[in-house]
Chains A and B, each alone.
Chain A
């Protein structure tokens, strides 16, 4: 039903119906932005990538083969465009946890712990191999099922699950490592 709705909107868009075009953009702009922001951790880059993703999708709408869902196809485009930005950013990003925590001056110990955990998590995520990071992010933060992730990442279901397991295990290890470094 969901796919049929999208196919109808796509057909109407290809026929030149502006309302159908608008509907597709409004429907997918937020999930795409969320995905892109999580990948690049920057508002400007995420906005720029969102526009590039949608423009590429609508200029190449004729090449959408309709074997997967339109959303999956959009995610594939977005991930491919964001990969380069993410790679550059993850190389350049070296956030000092202590600096950030002190500057924000948390008022409670709980808030400090919470903020520290989040910063640890963000740092650990940037250190995951790209496919593992993408898979964990899609499963946990974007609530995509493993079958969808396999389609988006263009791999088998087994590979998607394996990437998830390895990603989560490595994330736990990295966070524990960081936590120990900070408490020493």
Chain B
């Protein structure tokens, strides 16, 4: 029994005449003395001679198209735009169209109103002055030209009292440049400081 696996592995290549000259000679010298390998080579030749029936040129020529179509059919189809799909969804009941119209009007109204409100809020926050005839108050706008004589007198007296109190508070600042009471400041001085102040005033008086 032959155990030369290298020779046995090379027998198919020997049959195919795919070996170089040295390898060929090695196989041939082995075959000359090995019945088992000769039998194996005959078996390989018998197997290799087994032919496959040719289905014919028409079969081969049609194959690319047949495969191409089969591949195309097996691909997941892409969703294309379908007009009937759109029409089916447009034919809605009448009430849905009415509801949609009302909704549209409400949305448009809201969109128009919202910017105006925002603008008013912005003007308030920035202290924008209004027209001469209009005053903005917490309760709303008042047009001066619409007021009668009594109402104007009331406003006048209110404004006069408000102004006089403002003047009283502002007088020390206006006269002395500081928000202080000069008499209270003099009362707080000690004897020495009063003497120094007196001397300074006399000196300023002499200098004119």
Q: A-side interface residues toward B, CB under 8 Å?
A: 18, 21-22, 25-26, 29-30, 33-34, 37-38, 43, 47, 50-51, 54-55, 58-59, 117-118, 121-122, 136, 139-141, 143, 146, 161, 164-165, 168, 171-172, 175
Contact = CB atoms under 8 A, between A and B. Distances in A.
B64 A26 contact: yes
Given A165-B8, A172-B40, A22 B46 contact: no
Interface string B8-44: 1100100110000000000000000000000110011
B55 interface: yes
Interface of B: 5, 8-9, 12, 15-16, 39-40, 43-44, 46-48, 50, 52-53, 55, 59-60, 63-64, 66-68, 70-71, 74-75
A31 B53 CA distance: 12
A38 B68 contact: no
A21 B68 contact: yes
10 contacts: A22-B64, A37-B53, A43-B55, A51-B63, A51-B70, A141-B47, A146-B9, A165-B8, A168-B44, A172-B40
Given A59-B74, A118-B46, A118-B50, 20 more contacts: A18-B68, A21-B64, A21-B68, A22-B68, A26-B64, A33-B55, A34-B52, A43-B55, A51-B63, A54-B67, A55-B71, A59-B75, A121-B47, A139-B12, A140-B15, A141-B50, A164-B9, A165-B9, A168-B43, A175-B43
Report whether over half of chain A's contact residues are helix, strand or loop; otherwise say mixed: helix
B53 A43 contact: yes
Contacts of B50: 38, 118, 121-122, 141
Contacts of A54: 63, 67
Contacts of A43: 53, 55
Contact of B71 (A58, A121, A172): A58
